Structure 1
Amino acid sequence: MTSSRPAPSLPARLAAFSLRARIIAVLAATTVLATVAVVYTIGAARRAQPTDPASAFGLDHGRLYFRSTGAGAGRVARLPAPDGRSGAASAPRSGHRTTGGPACERFYAAAGTGLCLQRRPGIPPRSYAVVLDRRLREKRRIALTGIPNRARVSASGRMLSWTMFATGDSYATTAFSTRTSILDTRTGYLIKNMEEIPLTLDGRRYHSPDVNYWGVTFARDDNRFYATVSTKGRTYLVQGDMRRWAARTIRENVECPSLSPDNTRLAFKKRVRPGAGAPWRLYVLDLRTLREHPLAESRSVDDQAAWLDDRTLAYALPGREGRSSDVWTVPADGGGSPSLAVPDASSPVRVP
């Protein structure tokens, strides 16, 4: 005898259909919600992340780059370059800066190469020299010790130099020690500390344990350079030769030299008052005649001034109205007057 199972009743079939429908609806709703959550999470993450320097901006010709201390504090930002025709920026411009570059304590750039000095918290804090490409993407990272202080790139983008405070944090006193490095980006050769360079002072080979170098600036040939050396409480301008690896003093009381684009003049800060209170004034030295003249900026400038062009210098000063620092410009010929170029900024450089 063949047995047969009785067919489900209509109420039972309706109940089963309703259960399946509810399961399908729940699964569909779950899928939709999961998709929405993923999309929202990705979008929120993108909004929360700093702007990718590679997509935000690169090293474009004619732009003024600087470290922003206002919007996007600590990151590299840019503006159209100040109008150099009048020898100074026409007006401060803070509302149209493009932010989102790499985070740097000091920044400089030329010819598609950027140098970013970073300091990271920790015990002890960590510092790095980061070499950047034209799109401000990292190419090389070098671990350092100390506090970032000066950064320079040669006009060709080949030679890089940076100075770190090994002890102390100000040139205004004698209680400091520096370590200055030079990197040849073409060969990859790194001079970790240039204190061992053979030095000639007043025509004689000089040796002293208290020698400190800082503020390197390169000539267009990527061989000649200028820097400050201090010893026995005095500072000197030195001219160096990379191929011969030698340096000689050429003038006293010169700090943080900066070579003009035409390679004929050096801007520098000169100690005009003793002690640690506002001791310096900006000067320009003619390398052919070795004559110097003060600039119209009478305030004390503790910075390595940057040439925006052959007529105009930019530098940072402590900020006003609660700002940490501002960038100012002044004519290089000694005339005119200082002009506020960029509020809430430091480390100015114009990419030629």
Structure 2
Amino acid sequence: MPEPGGRFRSSSGRRALAFLAVVVLLVGGTVAYLLVQRSETAAATAAAAEREAGTPRLPYEDILGVPHLVVRNTEAGPSFGKVALIPLDDPDGPRAIVDISCERISATASGAVCLQQVPGMLTSYRTVFLDSRLREIGGQDLAGIPSRARLSRDGRYAASTAFVAGHAYTDAQFSTETVITDLESGTPLGELETWTTFQGGAEVTAVDRNYWGVTFLGDGPRFYATLGTGGQFLLVEGDVTARTMEVIGVSGACPSVSPDGTSVVYKRVAASGEAGFVTLDLESSRVVPLDEVRVVDDQASWADEDTVLYTVARQEAPTAGSDVWSAPVAGGPPRLLVPDAASPSVVRPER
């Protein structure tokens, strides 16, 4: 039908106007949604900052001289992901925040190794070496997503493991790169896949072999680690000086050797694929299961000769919320030690 003035509006014109109206509504709705999301995010950030501002903090210099825990802080707020120091005699009390972010950290009285995510157009990762006062003294590129970190007792050797494919050890396609670095000379000693591994006198040459979970015996150069190959997780004993490893005939993963070098806690993998912590006495070969029935994706660390620590992710927030738990290696119920924390190390300053 003609419009007033004898002009006609085509059907294509009406469709164009309708389409334009829909676009305007969609754009307006999207902008409104983004504004609401930004407002909610800003409000949540402000609330977290306010909560953190009201949380008691300690000067970290006051904690360095006493036995303490070094952890990754997982409290919600601006300090999430930063290194925290907590007096060992008050693990649930105030903590000191150090202005360095780590996805994983391992510390001794001699220093620390920190695995970092580096923001940017393309996310990258690096290994950072710290001195006894947690000041950066060096670093190197990390091949992928941070997984495990360990430092020898004297601070000479550092080990870092990254996922270069797959993000979990339960992923059939996972691949890792583990590098040991001699911090005395500042020299990376190559990834463990380039070292020589023996089993029963024969060299292990399987192309699918992966290594992770290094733990040093005291000051080194000896260490234990995990070899994954052919669907098996095997413990190996290594020698940094010779750059060799030997399969020790134990099926397990993520070992952690005791301070006196007599025992190793590791995850024994069942046929079902589930893994639980056990303690292996290296002299008697006696194995004692820990009373921890939850799924724990962590490498334990030793608090003392009788107790180990590990991170447990909360079920309601598995990507962020986590706590540090402790368990006696001889058996006994685990207990919550440090809320809102991960990647624990116990440091006892040398007198």
* TM-score, normalisation: structure 1: 0.77
Instruction: Tell me the secondary structure at the aligned position of residue 100 of structure 2.
Output: coil
CA separation of 1:289/1:55 partners in 2, compared to 1, >3 Å: closer, same or farther?
closer
Matched letter for residue 303 of structure 2: L
| 2:104 corresponding residue in structure 1 | 106
CA offset at residue 57 of structure 1? 6.3
Matched letter for residue 329 of structure 1: S
Paired with 1:57 and 1:74, the residues of 2 have a C-alpha distance of: 21
Deviations 1:217-240 (A, max 9, x none): 111241111000011111110001
8 Å Cα contact 1:82-1:341 kept in structure 2: no
| 1:20 corresponding residue in structure 2 | none
| 2:329 corresponding residue in structure 1 | 332
| 1:310 corresponding residue in structure 2 | 305
RMSD: 2.1
8 Å Cα contact 2:302-2:345 kept in structure 1: yes
Instruction: Tell me the secondary structure at the aligned position of residue 102 of structure 1.
Output: strand
Matching of residue 130 in structure 1 with residue 128 in structure 2: yes
Deviations 1:17-62 (A, max 9, x none): xxxxxxxxxxxxxxxxxxxxxxxxxxxxxxx9xxxx9975674441
Matching of residue 63 in structure 1 with residue 89 in structure 2: no
Paired with 1:100 and 1:246, the residues of 2 have a C-alpha distance of: 37
CA offset at residue 273 of structure 1? 5.1
8 Å Cα contact 2:63-2:86 kept in structure 1: no
Paired with 2:158 and 2:94, the residues of 1 have a C-alpha distance of: 30
> Structure 2 regions of 5+ residues with no counterpart?
1-52
| 1:349 corresponding residue in structure 2 | 345
Deviations 1:123-160 (A, max 9, x none): 43110100011221110021122100100011111111
8 Å Cα contact 1:58-1:135 kept in structure 2: no
8 Å Cα contact 1:269-1:301 kept in structure 2: no
| 1:257 corresponding residue in structure 2 | 255
State the percentage of identical aligned residues.
41
Paired with 2:199 and 2:111, the residues of 1 have a C-alpha distance of: 34
8 Å Cα contact 2:156-2:219 kept in structure 1: no
Paired with 2:193 and 2:64, the residues of 1 have a C-alpha distance of: 32
Paired with 1:258 and 1:63, the residues of 2 have a C-alpha distance of: 19
Paired with 2:268 and 2:171, the residues of 1 have a C-alpha distance of: 14
CA separation of 1:61/1:198 partners in 2, compared to 1, >3 Å: closer, same or farther?
farther
Deviations 1:259-280 (A, max 9, x none): 10011000111112524xxx21
Matched letter for residue 176 of structure 1: F
Paired with 2:167 and 2:64, the residues of 1 have a C-alpha distance of: 30
| 1:79 corresponding residue in structure 2 | 86
| 2:141 corresponding residue in structure 1 | 143
| 1:162 corresponding residue in structure 2 | 160
8 Å Cα contact 1:319-1:343 kept in structure 2: no
* TM-score, normalisation: structure 2: 0.77
Matched letter for residue 282 of structure 2: L
8 Å Cα contact 2:105-2:149 kept in structure 1: yes
Mapping of 1:164-203 within 5 angstroms?
164-203=162-201
Matched letter for residue 297 of structure 1: E
CA separation of 1:206/1:100 partners in 2, compared to 1, >3 Å: closer, same or farther?
closer
Instruction: Tell me the secondary structure at the aligned position of residue 129 of structure 1.
Output: strand
Matched letter for residue 88 of structure 2: A
Instruction: Tell me the secondary structure at the aligned position of residue 195 of structure 1.
Output: helix
Paired with 2:59 and 2:118, the residues of 1 have a C-alpha distance of: 22
Deviations 1:254-306 (A, max 9, x none): 1010010011000111112524xxx2101111111222110011212211000
Matched letter for residue 212 of structure 2: W
| 1:42 corresponding residue in structure 2 | none
> Structure 1 regions of 5+ residues with no counterpart?
1-47, 84-91
Matched letter for residue 152 of structure 2: S
Instruction: Tell me the secondary structure at the aligned position of residue 284 of structure 2.
Output: coil
Matched letter for residue 319 of structure 1: R
Matched letter for residue 214 of structure 1: W
CA separation of 1:198/1:146 partners in 2, compared to 1, >3 Å: closer, same or farther?
same
